[in-house]
Structure 1
């Protein structure tokens, strides 16, 4: 347990120093906390970046120059051992919003001069006193929509600045009972087994009811949206998603873990599938596409109650020949 607590403290210290770093010192700050062969995974257009200097120069410095007075508004924080490698590695997850004054363009998105919220979720692998690997997933289309752009056709569910857990207990800074996390991970695995391959033989609603609470909330990414209750989730996301794809691959994760009532996973990619038409109002291409995803869950009793999802939709649609970022640059704001 002390290893998990030490890893949490390292990541908390890293966040404090990174958030307080002045322009031009971010690479130095990263260098104090990350390993020499640091590997960073981010959504399109960042993708894989290696080394503290490159991560600072390509991601953090430009973002901090655009979202001035950046503030981390964290909703969920937990750590765990990674089931995927036999529980040998230790990871720390952080989720929330990076909020700032959107005063300069970022990725071709024109500034608003108003508050901007970048949804993020980060998984950090810790070895000793260093962070050696990070998956930093963030919802760029959500920021685009705040800036008045419409990167996708109208979505099926609701577009929101998303709140944290209804229970307001997602920051697991203190030591947790290992048995509670084991129960959470077992439920997540049951959900993956039941639903992950779309082959349960049950109706969609009956599938969902095996592992989800009736009043579940699915906090989906911009372009899809958030939806509430099993019936509305089936209607507004799960059924349209399944109907719009063929040839879904098996599920593959780099990390899957849980602590307390919270857990989650990410992949690179999690799975591939071929769009046949209709998904997000865009046509089918017949080309397999990758889904890079983070899922974070809150368990309540023996069911999953809330799920926060990050999907690299920019990467997926670029694989289909649609460059959402490029076609949105310099579009007049409404």
Structure 2
């Protein structure tokens, strides 16, 4: 399959959604999404079960705050979902939503300047309608642009993250299916190697990671953790602190995993259930388990992965630990 009709439907949906204003956004959602629609979003939005609810709860308030919005896509791919035996078709879009941050949003004071929010969206297509969406977006990134500090200092670097170094992520045209198979195989090898690390003799990340990653890898992490470059930088900037600060961990699986061309990704709801042992992201141990909802997007170079864009619902994760990051950080903020 070349997925051209599915890609066209999602691009038409974006064109209509991004140009609509106010109540017209609900009309767009009604036109493009199914009656039994499921939308999975970042805290504090969580699950919504109709297009109208998504419009009222997320899109309309966001668009009122961020005027003249542009969708600046870096990756656009489609494929069959490995998690259901390659039966369903999904279209993935990743990039930034950009506008002029004119009004408060979620208690975050406006800057009156350009505001940018990373996003990644998985859309399931059935019978000419969008039936499921997972849309994760980096709210802490917006908070930091407004001068707020939701987390202690990061182990990685905070920035507006670029798209693929090759500038080949917008796969509007059909792709070589063999390249997609190679990418999915590389992603699956990496997942399996991570899941097996606790059952192996201690070997160290310096030995483990080069099996899956090129040495010049880039890990584009969420605001609060930040980005890291090279395997050594990734060990220092995220993977080392992650394993040191998080204890008992259960892998819950993914709802969707696919690849097209040299790009691929997955999401779970939740991916992981983790018991923090203290220190991760500067937070103390609480003795409570927390779910981690994650979207990962990848670029493969050769036989290994080389770029990785990560979306983690950190607000939800820490809220389960008893810390309402959003409320705590915005309570004294003045618009």
Normalising by the smaller structure, the TM-score range is over 0.9
- Alignment correspondent of 1:130: 129
- Alignment correspondent of 2:268: 267
Counterpart check, 1:329 vs 2:335: no
TM-score, with normalisation over the residues of structure 1? 0.98
- Alignment correspondent of 1:143: 142
SS at match of 1:272: strand
String of CA shifts for 1:1-58, please: whole Å, max 9, x gaps.
14x1111111011001000112211010111110011110001000000111101000
- Alignment correspondent of 2:51: 52
Q: Say if 1:197 and 1:248, in contact at 8 Å, map to a contact too.
A: no
String of CA shifts for 1:98-134, please: whole Å, max 9, x gaps.
0000000000001010100011000000002100000
Counterpart check, 1:157 vs 2:153: no
Gaps of 5+ in 1: none
User: Structure 1 residue 198: deviation in Å?
Assistant: 3.2
Q: Say if 1:109 and 1:330, in contact at 8 Å, map to a contact too.
A: no
CA distance in 2, matches of 1:255, 1:196: 18
String of CA shifts for 1:264-302, please: whole Å, max 9, x gaps.
000000011100000000101111100000000000001
Q: Say if 1:149 and 1:331, in contact at 8 Å, map to a contact too.
A: no
- Alignment correspondent of 2:14: 15
- Alignment correspondent of 2:167: 168
CA distance in 1, matches of 2:78, 2:100: 30
TM-score, with normalisation over the residues of structure 2? 0.98
String of CA shifts for 1:129-157, please: whole Å, max 9, x gaps.
10000000000001000000000000011
SS at match of 1:273: strand
Question: What RMSD over aligned residues (CA atoms) do the two structures have, in Å?
Answer: 1.2
Counterparts of 1:22-101 in structure 2, within 5 Å, are: 22-101=21-100
CA distance in 2, matches of 1:48, 1:258: 25
- Alignment correspondent of 2:309: 308
- Alignment correspondent of 2:285: 284
CA distance in 2, matches of 1:171, 1:279: 35
CA distance in 2, matches of 1:332, 1:62: 18
- Alignment correspondent of 1:203: 204
SS at match of 1:308: strand
